[in-house]
Amino acid sequence: MHMPIDRIRETRPLDSRRRSHLRLAEPSDAVLIYRLRSDNRLSRFLNAPPTTVEEQAAWLTRYKNDEAAGRQYYFIIVSDGQDRGTVRMYDFRIIKGLKSFCWGSWIIAPPPVVGLAGYSALVIYELGFEHLGFEHCHFDVRRENESVINFHLRSGAKIVDEGEQDYFFHFSREAYDAFRSAHASAIERHSALLQTS
């Protein structure tokens, strides 16, 4: 499950030559992340953000130790050269004998970019299943977050449990393969190599 950071940067989801891609978050992204997480329209279903930019920067500095050890990966979503959001992989563990990862902290700022939400989910799954060696995915979504719940159900995720606040989902490698096939046009559009002069 652990891959050297340099090799992660070499994977297709992190290929900065492409129209949309991920890049690993840095402490210098504290202002961006704090702004996204402090926007109630974007983060009302996420955990409360740090109270200051400085606290966010300190968290990111600590996070880089987890990143180096392969315990979690926090990404900035980039599209057309603009930092558009965040997404995180974490809670790596064994579920029913399968190596599983969780993902969340998923924020995409307006204005909408057609297909970017689906593409950012696809590249997280690609990174997990095709590059990091995971066999399974698990995550939770706030019960009130109906649009994201519906997105995950359409993508092939299954609700396996529920709590007072959350639905708990599992997502299989087979579901990923079907999801990827169904979104071939978004993949083609967002993974296109940028023209260079």
Instruction: Read off the tokens for 88.
Output: 């995180």
Q: What is the DSSP string of 64-123?
A: HHHHHHTS-EEEEEEETTEEEEEEEEEEEEEETTEEEEEEEEEEEPSSP-TTHHHHHHHH
Instruction: Read off the tokens for 57.
Output: 């920067």
pLDDT at 2: 66
| Number of Cβ atoms within 10 Å of the Cβ of 183 | 18
Instruction: Read off the tokens for 172.
Output: 């299989």
For the segment 117-160, what is each residue's pLDDT rounded down to a tens digit?
999 999 999 999 999 999 999 999 999 999 999 999 999 999 99
* Confidence band, pLDDT 50/70/90 cuts, at residue 197: very low
For the segment 174-192, what is each residue's pLDDT rounded down to a tens digit?
999 999 999 888 888 898 8
Domain ranges of the chain: 5-191
Q: Which residues of 155-165 are buried (b: 16+ CB within 10 A; e: fewer)?
A: bebeeeeeeee
Mapped onto helix, strand or coil, the DSSP state of residue 169 is strand
Average pLDDT over residues 101-121: 93
CATH topology of domain 5-191: Aminopeptidase (3.40.630)
* Confidence band, pLDDT 50/70/90 cuts, at residue 1: low
d(CA 122, CA 104): 13
- Specify the range with the lowest mean pLDDT, choosing from 8-17, 54-63, 86-95: 8-17
- Specify the range with the lowest mean pLDDT, choosing from 21-30, 42-51, 161-170: 42-51
